[in-house]
Amino acid sequence: MAIEALNARNQFRGTVKEILLGPVVSEVEVETPFGIVTSVITTRSVKDLELRVGSEVLALVKSTEVSIAKL
């Protein structure tokens, strides 16, 4: 599937800063110009994408709900 085919409007270019591998899921920290974005993805996907610290990636953010609280 091409990136263009995904329905995610919020896309951030970044670099993998840290990967915490787990037996089933892993955390991938991506450093973007706007700050750190953390993704929880399957460990299989980390391996299939050949992600390493320093890999250039595109973080795609999609949310079906955004909650707002007044400060």
Q: Domain range holding 39?
A: 3-61
Burial class (CB in 10 A: 0-12, 13-18, 19+), 64: exposed
52 lies in some domain: yes
| Sign of the four-CA dihedral 53, 54, 56, 60 | positive
User: Does the pTM exceed 0.75?
Assistant: yes
Residue in this structure with the two tokens 């609280």, named with its chain if needed: 69
CATH code, 41: 2.40.50.100
The parts of the chain modelled with pLDDT lower than 70 are: 1-9, 64-70
Number of independent structural domains in the chain: 1
pLDDT at position 57: 94
pLDDT at position 71: 74
70 lies in some domain: no
φ/ψ of 2, rounded to 5, equals -80, 150
φ/ψ of 48, rounded to 5, equals -60, -40
68 lies in some domain: no
